[in-house]
Every structure is written in structure tokens, then in C-alpha cells.
Amino acid sequence: MKEAQALSLRIEHARDLFFMQGRDLSDAEGMAPHISRSWRRCRSVDQAVVEPEPVLLQHLRERREQSMQMLACAQPELDGLAEHALSAGCVVILTDPSGLILEEIGSPEFLPKAQRIALAPGVEWSETSRGTNAIGTALLERQSLMVLGGEHFLPQNGAIGCAASPIFTGRGEIAGVIDISGEAAQVNDHTLGLVRMAAQQVEHRLMLAQASGHLLRFHAKPGLLGTAREGLVVIDDGRIVAANRVALGLLGTAWGGLLDQSVEALIGMRWSQLESRAGLLTLPDGRQIAATVERAARGASWRTPSRPPAARVAEVHPAMDDVAPLLKLACKVLDGGLPILVTGETGSGKEVFARALHHASRRSKGPFVAVNCAALPETLIEAELFGYEAGAFTGARRRGMPGRIREASGGVLFLDEIGDMPLLLQTRLLRVLEERTVVPLGGGPGIRVDFDLVCATHRDLQQMSAAGAFRADLLYRVDGYRVAVPPLRQRRDRRALIERLFGQLAQAKRLSIDRAALDRLDAHAWAGNVRELNSVLRAMVALADEGDTLGVDQLPDRFVATTAQDPQHHLVEVEPALSDVVENTIDQVLSACHGNVATAAKRLGVHRSTVYRHLAQRSTSR
């Protein structure tokens, strides 16, 4: 109690010095250095800022898709920490690299209503938007830390305490942040230790999921091999392409001194002799470590698109990939400054192609900003695209919004379903493409933007243009080079694609699939294309137990019933919405578990609260 009172007095004194007297925090004793640095960084943040609004649901879905692998690797830790959070009256939060909340689990009852909204999925907790806070400050400080009570820059956050730890990739990039927030008195060093350990576990899973080439596991203590405390180094073509933080600590170096360096110079020449067996490895400095080497061509390579588990499914040869040649040509055109128009049936993978194009292009280090023109209401899409000034309309954010086009500057703007864009907005977009200047709603000076443009549609824009539904001058602006993504039923690499997608989804549960089931999947005509395939595979994986080999009996009933028919008949099938597939899957698993929510949640790989929400929504809809 005395320590808490002393901390409260120190913080009160520091706030008086910094905010009231305008003095530097070097005059205040006892403040954590990361708090001092953060307060100085946040001088320009408005202390009267209103509580933030979550991003649109479509944007949240896009951000979750971008962090899908990290979300999957973090789910076991979220579930484990949720038990602690519920008992302590706290919430567990997972964010993306920008600080946007992707998942929130636990007991938010401790918060006032405004802060319950602020800690909800879709709200960004960067320092820029929320001042000093554990999530945003951990992102900038690149370390695990706490922010307690009045240490928050914004006074309205003074009642909460937060402990956060960044999650790093094997290349030293931040993949997200895991955080526990609650009443300030409930957050302490123990809480910080929990999030730090959770982040280490997530990083370990993420490394294993992304490893490709050779994976070196090592530690000074042999008993720690195979645990999250082992060092991991990924080796490709004789060079180190990734390493976890444990490896950096054991080798006494940083990512800058390790990545892309010769493995022999840093690890020694005998590393390859330990493949598939454990042994001692002598480092160049004479230290000995316990180590083992295994082939790891099963995750997403650090340099190339993801590959499936080699032991489970066949690896895709470049010559078998129908999309790779299209991507190579499109990349040349996009890097030349011309826009790309991606066409294809609904669900054929147009956005996946666009993201791969961004990754391979000259703009790969810049943002990829996706806007679904069909998903946004006509009344909102203009503000979403072009942004607005403060007070531009009723309900506008206090400080305005830059808009998606400005957010894309320096990267790639992807306009999905551009054929659904209203004519009035087509005129404004044409002006932006011609002048490369955005004028936000509500007036103000034009703002220069620099981006490459990729558009997608399942419509015939030429026909729409002839009918007056799409501007001809805009068509010529967006149709610099056309790429037709083939429907899944016409792809020669269909079987290899099915194997690859299954391998990615099934890796965490160590599942395999037999030839008969693959034959059935390959023979299907896939009216819903890759989207339908993903839905079917996700349902199969969710229903399976760890280590299962999936066969024909594990295919969905509706799918098995149609596979014996003429494939042409499949073209009239209606693809179920992904949400319907998810709901049906939860119902099936609940039924198989005789209504036991805990068992069903464990089998689905989700927290129990997800199943309870599903049951509540189902009872409401009835």
C-alpha cells in the first residue's frame, strides 16, 4: 500500500512539473525512463481528445486478414491469459503492428462505458492517437513495459493500468502487441511477466510457422530444446534469414549483426552435420551448445510466398503455378507506373493476387491499402476515400480523417469491385488520378499523393461503360494492363493449390489428408472458387482432432453429396457466406461435444467466450 501511495505521489508531482509548469521530466525523480521519453514524444497530442471510434468492420476484417498467421499463433496464449484476466477483472488484448486492436478477451466490466469502447476491437492505441499507453509505447520502445494510472498521457486513462509486450518476427519486425489492461492496482510486475512470456511463446510459434530451408534449434541447456526458450535460426542457401530473440541473446548479437550473414561465420562449419539428430555444436568463440537441425520447408519463406509442410503434402513447383507468370508480368507493368486491372469471378482470389503484387513490387515497403467499393455505403465511401476536415459533416471525427487514398501514399491503393463505385465518385477519383492531389471533404488545400493503383472487378467494365454506368475516361485510367485470374475449376495447379492451402491451415494441428479426399476436392468444380475452397478446408480443420488424417468422411455433407454428380452441375451451386460456414461449424462441433462449450471451444481452437457469443446470437435470432 505504501509503495502504491509513493508511486501515486511521484506521478502527481511529475504531471505537475510536465503539464502545468512545462518543465522537462529530468527534474522529476522516480519516473520510468520509457514514460519520460513517451511524454516528450506526445507533447503534440491533444489532452482533450475524445474517445476514439472503432474503424469500419470491413477495415477491421482486412487488418485481421493481414495478421492472420500471427492471430493463429497467438490464440493459445490469448486463451491461457483469459483465465487470469477473468479472475483479476482485466482484459487481454492483441493488436496489429500499428496498435489497432484485433482481439479483446476477458472482463471489461472494470471499465467505464467510454473506455470499454476504447478497448474494443477496431480501435487504434498508437501513441499518436492515444498518447502514452502500454501498447503504443511498447511499439515505439520495442520492449515489454507497463503504464500505470497517471503515467498515461491522457487524463481520461488515469484509472487503468496496462502491461504490454511486442511480438517480433524472425527479421526483427513487430508483428503485433499482446497486452493486459485493468484497474491500475491489478497490473504489476507479475502481469508484465505474463505478457512477456506470452509474446515469447507467440514468437516461437510464428518462427516455426514461417521457417523454410533449415531450422537450427539450440540452447546451452539441452533440456530446453523443443521449448519456447530455445534459440531458433532459419538458414537458407547458407545464410541466416531469420532468428528469434532467444537466439540473439544466446549468440550475444542483434538482428543487424546476424541477418543475411554466412551461417558458418557465426555458427561454425559443423551445423549441417546435426540434421535430424541432437548433438553439441562448438561456436567460433569456443562455447558449446546443444543443437539440432531439421528441414523446415513447411512455412512461409522469409523471401518467397508460403509453402506447405513437406512431410504432409507435395510442394508446389513454380512450373505448376498458373498465377506466377501472370504475377511476374503484372509486376513489371506496375513498377513501370501503369495501373493494373484484375478481373475474375467472385472468390477467385483477386485481392490475394493484388497483395502478392504489392509484395513483389517496388512499393513493397510502403502500405497496401484495400478499399472494397461494394462493401461501403454510398454515403460513406466518399469520406473513406478522400478524407475530411474537422466538422465537415454531422458525426465527423473531431480532428478529421486523412482518407484511404492519402494512407496509400508511398504504397499501393487497391480498389476492389471498382465497378460498384458510384458515378459521382468516379469523377472525383478520375481527378485524383490525373492530378495526383486529394482535396478532403470540407475544403482545404489539395494534398499531393504518390501511389501505384491496382483495381479489381468481376463485372464487364467495357459493357458498363457502353451503357453509361462506368465512365469511359476512368476505364482508360484504371485499365493500364489487364490480368484475368482464372476460376479455380480451370486452374491446372488446382490440386497443388488445395494441398498448399490445406498444409497452411492444418499445420498447427499436425493434420494430414488422404489421397481419396484430395481426389474428391480436386474433382469438384468450385463454383465459389478459392473462397469456397478456403471455407471447406477451414471447416474440415476446425472439426478435426490433433494428428488426424482426414478422408472422404470428413468432407462436408453438402460437398460429398454433390461430388458424384456431373461437375457441370456444380456451376449452379450457390456459395455459402463465410459467416454461415463458421456458424455451421460451431453448431456441428457443439453437437459432436454434446453441448459441452469448453470441449467445443478447445476443439475449434477458440476461447469459450466465442462459443457463448455464438449461442447468444443464435438464441436472439430465433
Residues of the chain with CATH 3.40.50.300: 324-485
CATH superfamily for domain 32-206: GAF domain (3.30.450.40)
Please state, in angstroms and rounded to a whole number, the distance separating the CA atoms of residues 367 and 359. 10
Q: Confidence band (pLDDT; 50, 70, 90) for 199?
A: very high
**Contact present, 544 and 509 (Cβ < 8 Å):** yes
Question: What local confidence, expressed as pLDDT, does residue 407 receive?
Answer: 87
Please state, in angstroms and rounded to a whole number, the distance separating the CA atoms of residues 206 and 166. 13
**Contact present, 156 and 111 (Cβ < 8 Å):** no
**Contact present, 124 and 99 (Cβ < 8 Å):** yes
* Highest mean predicted confidence (pLDDT) among 294-303, 473-482, 500-509: 473-482
Average pLDDT estimate for 520-528: 88
pLDDT at 326 over 80: yes
Q: Does domain 324-485 have CATH number 3.30.70.890?
A: no
Average pLDDT estimate for 177-181: 96
Tell me 143's DSSP state: S
Retrieve residue 86's grid coordinates: 477473468
Write out the DSSP string of 548-584.
-EE-GGGS-HHHHHHHTS-GGGGGGPPPPPHHHHHHH
- pLDDT higher at 60 or 114: 60
Beta strand extents in 283-426 (DSSP E only): 288-295, 340-343, 368-372, 412-416
pLDDT at 129 over 80: yes
Neighbouring CB atoms inside 10 A of 13's CB total 15
pLDDT at 141 over 90: yes
Query: Across the chain, which distance is largest between two alpha carbons, in Å?
Result: 80
Phi, psi (degrees; rounded to nearest 5) at 195: -70, -30
Q: Could you read off the pLDDT of 562-595 as tens digits, one per residue? A: 444 433 333 333 334 434 545 667 777 777 777 7
Question: What local confidence, expressed as pLDDT, does residue 165 receive?
Answer: 97
Q: Confidence band (pLDDT; 50, 70, 90) for 597?
A: confident
Write out the DSSP string of 206-239.
HHHHH--SEEEEEESSGGGTTSTTSEEEEEETTE
Strands 412-416 and 452-457: parallel
Give percent above pLDDT 90 in the chain.
28
Q: Confidence band (pLDDT; 50, 70, 90) for 307?
A: very low
Helix (H, G, I), strand (E, B) or coil at 452: strand
Tell me 330's DSSP state: H
Distances in Å between the Cα of 178 and the Cα atoms of 74, 95, 96, 99, 167 are: 9, 7, 9, 10, 7
Residue with cell 455433407: 557
pLDDT at 276 over 60: yes
Query: What residue spans of 336-439 are helical by DSSP H?
Result: 350-360, 378-386, 404-407, 423-435
Please state, in angstroms and rounded to a whole number, the distance separating the CA atoms of residues 208 and 246. 14
Least confident of 136-140, 258-262, 455-459: 258-262
Question: What local confidence, expressed as pLDDT, does residue 164 receive?
Answer: 97
Q: Confidence band (pLDDT; 50, 70, 90) for 310?
A: very low
- pLDDT higher at 345 or 6: 345
Question: What local confidence, expressed as pLDDT, does residue 456 receive?
Answer: 95
357: buried, middle or exposed (CB in 10 Å: 19+, 13-18, 0-12)? buried
Helix (H, G, I), strand (E, B) or coil at 292: strand
Question: What local confidence, expressed as pLDDT, does residue 174 receive?
Answer: 95
Residues of the chain with CATH 3.30.450.40: 32-206
Closest CA to 403 of 422, 376, 435: 376
CATH topology of domain 491-621: Helicase, Ruva Protein; domain 3 (1.10.8)
Question: What local confidence, expressed as pLDDT, does residue 198 receive?
Answer: 94
Neighbouring CB atoms inside 10 A of 484's CB total 13
Least confident of 92-96, 339-343, 377-381: 377-381
Burial pattern 384-415, b for ≥16 Cβ within 10 A else e, equals: bbbbbbeebeeebeeebbebbbbbbbebbbbb
Please state, in angstroms and rounded to a whole number, the distance separating the CA atoms of residues 494 and 519. 11
Architecture of domain 211-295: 2-Layer Sandwich (3.30)
Q: Confidence band (pLDDT; 50, 70, 90) for 101?
A: very high
Residues of the chain with CATH 1.10.8.60: 491-621
Strand (E) or helix (H) holding 116: helix 113-118
Q: Confidence band (pLDDT; 50, 70, 90) for 299?
A: very low
Burial pattern 487-511, b for ≥16 Cβ within 10 A else e, equals: bbbebebbbbbbbbbbbbbbbbeeb
